Amino acid sequence: MKKIDFTCKRITLKDLVQCNYSLNDSEYLVFSQLISSKRGLSVKDLIEKIKKDRTTVQKILTKLMNRGLIMKKQVNLDRGFMFVYFSKNKDDVIKEIEENVKSYFDGIKESLNKWKNS
């Protein structure tokens, strides 16, 4: 079970996604670019969009793939090939976040009921 921790503040969509998947700001930035893209993005595309160096982008992509948030597809070119990266389906991401938020609030309700009845 994943836990969502927050202080008493307004929670943004970015906060929900980062907290649910334990993403730092750079990882979230790459993920948000991929989830917004309909055709997928190459490393070169991501470098241009987020203004980070190739090594950083590649490390982030590896982390996101290991977490199951993105996948890659090989595209053959006239000379060689490149990888294009795609995010997990947005509806699946939303469903996972909804389930974790529900679980979190169910835990809060349970704690409050125990406290109430003690």
pLDDT number for residue 8: 59
Q: Report the predicted TM-score, pTM, of the whole model to 2 decimal places.
A: 0.81
pLDDT number for residue 5: 58
pLDDT digit string, tens, across residues 36-93 = 998 999 999 999 999 999 999 999 999 999 999 999 999 999 999 999 999 999 999 9
pLDDT number for residue 11: 78
Report the pLDDT averaged over residues 4-14.
Answer: 70
Q: Is the pLDDT of residue 6 over 80?
A: no
- Non-local (6+) Cβ contacts of 2 within 8 A are 20, 100, 103
User: How many percent of the chain have pLDDT more than 90?
Assistant: 71
- Taking the C-alpha atoms of residue 25 and residue 45, their distance in angstroms, rounded to an integer, is 18
Going from N- to C-terminal start, the domains of the chain cover: 13-88
First to last CA, the chain: 26
Q: Which CATH class is domain 13-88?
A: mainly alpha
